[in-house]
Structure 1
């Protein structure tokens, strides 16, 4: 991967039982030596099992071990916050469930948990309980977490929040920009309840080589000052951050040259060009055959117009990265051919079919049955992106292939947003390749943050067009730029153009096409359900009779029926 991070860290940790018979603290540090350090980051976790609970030790060990393991098992495309939150919620439910086996639920699997994740140039903190995370910067110590505990005496306090304490979990989250030389110190209350801040600061200011020894000395100091609890501390220093050197990144991005101009019959890396099927100012598509196997693929190549544009090259490289991380029957599959690759391009499976745009041209108006068969497939493909914390951002008929059996394949990842990659710092202004205006949600034009609801809007535009042959809002979306202009748009019901459209299907489409994202379905699966099952709320919105909502068409149709009946009558009279 071109974004290989160069985040360099030094760390040490130590944990002891102290005067207690067993150590119910748990600590863990994971600094990957692979690309995972870039895509997922380094994880430092500390937990303190509640002594009053019967399974405090098991709870703290489970928190640390399972959090680290499960966090790195989440998709690379997920943001740190999404990955950590999913893992924490699952962990808490398991601990709470295990605790219900005890007569007193509060004496079950209960532990504090403080997690520091360092990714790219940002530190992410997740915290519940009274363990602590400190940061030392410019010679000053700052506590970054707050204790979720209520002190009832000098010697005793109780936790107000902890892992496994309640089925609902409330976790503090914050992010902080990293600087070279930052030192983070994590401790349990066996240390920070009895030692002074200056002692913790002194540890952080020691040379890296002495961190291990200083952790031990800090524990010894806490014991000498009367600590009666388990004692754990971790220290981690940011030695170096990802380089902010655009030239260095451009060297990596241009490691593979752009392919030469390709013509039928040419062979590139063992693939014979059959023909070009599409070309634009940003890319070209070819049907190719692998000479050795006879297998046919679609090859996408970058446009030479951008051979000196690192932002464009990065986005092109990310297309195959995205495709390789989505495995769904409704999304075109990217073929893996990295071995022996001498030029910048990527391959996908070859789909024998036409674009949905061509399909709609041949149909003019889809039947309700066709819509209900095809749109759920499109939604399933879109949902596959959302589950990976990605937005497609260019859902339109020309990016959907329809095979002969009406199976669906979503193609073109050139406009995708990937949450996990967006968090990785890059020394270039990233390319923003937005979708097609008349299929894009208003928030793009209004410069607001898009979401999964934005892709939902695009799918609804397609549904409307399939049934009517027309664009929603009278085709004015691409010419609308301000909030006032969007507010003035008038929705024309689909049954205005196609009387066969049920009012409840139009109601579902209308909701998904709401100008305000908050008024759309909160999950695209709800939209799918309402397209297949009549929603009683929409059934209440009975439309006007045909003669009232379109009198011209009504009288045209009536006249046509009358003319046909008169011709038939005349035919029989003249026989």
Structure 2
């Protein structure tokens, strides 16, 4: 990993900051970077810069990051704040889960840093503007997009085709002809960071600089200097020195990042995967591949195959999933298949199936999972003659929720929660399987797109998949699917909305659906439990539980919010009204008969 923090150097240190990252390999994100920070006439340099270029595998998921910060000189902790805004960001950002989007990763890191800076200043008794305060401008290049995070009056420019564009805006206010920061890291507990995305092109040059530079040389002069001959370190040094020569009385700091190559498009990348790892043929018991012997053909479908295999090296049993040759020319299918393995290796939880790594590199396109003992929920329900104990159902739901929440913490939606994808062993342990339909926020961002269509089984998928424009698909969609599973188990295989559910396609169709209480199918289900299930399968996502932990609590604890009265028949809920209604109907019938005679 190449890491280039650059804090408070003297002019003689400038050339040590240089870096050029070359590689003959195509279809990769490659940059050249240079930086310089000069103290100028001030006693100490409170600016800080850094560039981090990780290994290729991490570049593909987290990108390349460049940061500049300007510790506020009027603040007592300005120097420390500037260093934290650079070093803390570069360290913590690359430690966030790879499944998170760049935006989520960076913003959570910045929120954490801001709280630390603000808390440090408060602990030492400084007022807001006198504590640990700094600007922060960071650029993360990932795939074919630049992600910009900015607070304060440092700046980020982009030079493209000879034209310079300022991509950030200064957070300054004028008071009595004096300029003050109105937004900065550590200035207040509630941080508001400007966020912007910019498409990338080869030869784009990004310039990050502090106010010691842009306050003393114009944008056009910065552009002209960017066209100078020489390495980016020398150009950055020339910009910093020019600001001082133009009357600069502040620290002067520049970071330059030039895009040298970009990843291929999704189609080309998928084709590359195919060329490196071809589709395996259809396998049969006794056949061997990469030191794995096929013991059993578990599933063969039009989209994939599952085999139970034995590792000949250590004798353990594993499950191998292979892609269907029907899709060998479909780059989006290949992309999604590769994503299944990627998710399985990055999410570890006792209620999620584990993807297994072996020491030897596979020669075909497949991946391996742990072999599970047990049966899927459909078979489990059949074994209970459609009437499983209620407490066992609640225990199963609790475990499904636990595993799915682990996915959600990684910004991954399962999207195909159904009876066949839940395995229960003899001890009652639940394992969620099949990552084939997962929606991965980080990969959607980096790969450009994944299908937004309903990928799971229609019977258990949330309504928003059939109405993709009506609402944003999020974790509550998985909540709906788990609640549908719970209803299915408790009702002996019924749907909470009856036969009309499968035919509903439009908002009007869904608005006409009516929930059928569980006691209609199984009188032993408590009213409060039915109320919790009913809320989790609400048609409108906002009407469901905000968090699944709240839902599980309501499943396990009687709640007054689900009143018995609303579930009782009218004769028990209001006997007087019931008999009044019956009397009125009978009177009407008598009058009708008299009229007919």
TM-score by length of 1: 0.90
Aligned twin of 1:563: none
Aligned twin of 2:260: 239
Q: Contact 1:503/1:541 (CA < 8 Å) preserved in 2?
A: no
Q: Aligned partners of 1:191, 1:541: CA distance in 2, in Å?
A: 72
**Cα gap change, 1:83 to 1:15, in 2 (>3 Å):** same
Offset of 1:340 from its aligned partner?
4.4
- The answer to whether residue 437 in structure 2 is matched with residue 418 in structure 1 is no
Q: Aligned partners of 1:546, 1:268: CA distance in 2, in Å?
A: 66
Aligned twin of 1:459: 482
Q: Aligned partners of 1:475, 1:378: CA distance in 2, in Å?
A: 26
Aligned twin of 1:130: 153
Give the 3-state SS of the residue equivalent to 2:369 in structure 1. Answer: strand
Aligned twin of 1:174: 196
Q: For 1:95, which of 109, 117, 127 is the aligned residue?
A: 117
Q: Contact 2:454/2:466 (CA < 8 Å) preserved in 1?
A: no
Q: Contact 1:503/1:542 (CA < 8 Å) preserved in 2?
A: no
Q: Deviations over 1:223-271 (max 9, x none)?
A: 2232222111111122222223835641332422222222222222222
Give the 3-state SS of the residue equivalent to 1:82 in structure 2. Answer: helix
Q: Aligned partners of 2:152, 2:547: CA distance in 1, in Å?
A: 33
- The answer to whether residue 53 in structure 2 is matched with residue 31 in structure 1 is yes
- The answer to whether residue 143 in structure 2 is matched with residue 120 in structure 1 is yes
Offset of 1:20 from its aligned partner?
0.8
Offset of 1:307 from its aligned partner?
2.5
Q: Aligned partners of 1:431, 1:487: CA distance in 2, in Å?
A: 23
- The answer to whether residue 534 in structure 2 is matched with residue 510 in structure 1 is yes
- The answer to whether residue 75 in structure 2 is matched with residue 53 in structure 1 is yes
Q: Contact 1:242/1:425 (CA < 8 Å) preserved in 2?
A: no
Q: Aligned partners of 1:60, 1:370: CA distance in 2, in Å?
A: 55
Q: Deviations over 1:30-54 (max 9, x none)?
A: 1224221111111111111111211
Aligned twin of 1:22: 44
Aligned twin of 2:360: 339
Q: For 1:299, which of 308, 317, 320 is the aligned residue?
A: 320
Unaligned runs of 5+ in 1: 552-575
Which deviates more, 315-324 or 99-108? 99-108
- The answer to whether residue 420 in structure 2 is matched with residue 398 in structure 1 is yes
Aligned twin of 1:484: 508
- 1:50-89 aligned within 5 A: 50-89=72-111
Aligned twin of 1:556: none
Offset of 1:409 from its aligned partner?
0.5
Give the 3-state SS of the residue equivalent to 1:357 in structure 2. Answer: helix
Q: Contact 1:415/1:432 (CA < 8 Å) preserved in 2?
A: no
Q: Deviations over 1:142-178 (max 9, x none)?
A: 2111111212254x32221111111111111111111
- 1:185-334 aligned within 5 A: 185-207=207-229, 209-244=230-265, 246-247=267-268, 249-334=270-355
Offset of 1:502 from its aligned partner?
2.0
Aligned residues: 545
Aligned twin of 1:146: 169
Q: Deviations over 1:333-352 (max 9, x none)?
A: 11112614222222211111
Q: For 2:369, which of 348, 367, 382 is the aligned residue?
A: 348
**Cα gap change, 1:433 to 1:520, in 2 (>3 Å):** closer
Give the 3-state SS of the residue equivalent to 1:536 in structure 2. Answer: coil
Unaligned runs of 5+ in 2: 1-24, 576-597
Q: Aligned partners of 1:237, 1:268: CA distance in 2, in Å?
A: 44
Aligned twin of 1:520: 544
Aligned twin of 2:408: 386
Q: Deviations over 1:498-550 (max 9, x none)?
A: 2222222222212211111122222222222221223332237642148669x
CA-based RMSD: 2.2
Which deviates more, 490-499 or 533-542? 533-542
**Cα gap change, 1:5 to 1:67, in 2 (>3 Å):** farther
Q: Contact 1:437/1:477 (CA < 8 Å) preserved in 2?
A: no
Q: Deviations over 1:346-365 (max 9, x none)?
A: 22111110001111222213
Aligned twin of 1:500: 524
**Cα gap change, 1:64 to 1:283, in 2 (>3 Å):** same
Q: Aligned partners of 1:4, 1:514: CA distance in 2, in Å?
A: 49
Q: Aligned partners of 1:432, 1:413: CA distance in 2, in Å?
A: 16
Q: Aligned partners of 1:98, 1:351: CA distance in 2, in Å?
A: 50
- 1:417-456 aligned within 5 A: 417-425=439-447, 434-448=455-469, 449-456=472-479
Q: Aligned partners of 1:200, 1:11: CA distance in 2, in Å?
A: 16
Which deviates more, 79-88 or 354-363? 354-363
Q: Aligned partners of 1:379, 1:98: CA distance in 2, in Å?
A: 38
Q: Contact 1:315/1:431 (CA < 8 Å) preserved in 2?
A: no
Aligned twin of 2:392: 370
**Cα gap change, 1:146 to 1:368, in 2 (>3 Å):** same
**Cα gap change, 1:439 to 1:475, in 2 (>3 Å):** farther
TM-score by length of 2: 0.87
Which deviates more, 72-81 or 306-315? 306-315
Which deviates more, 328-337 or 31-40? 31-40
Q: Aligned partners of 2:285, 2:27: CA distance in 1, in Å?
A: 40
**Cα gap change, 1:273 to 1:10, in 2 (>3 Å):** same
**Cα gap change, 1:379 to 1:439, in 2 (>3 Å):** same
Q: Aligned partners of 1:345, 1:548: CA distance in 2, in Å?
A: 60
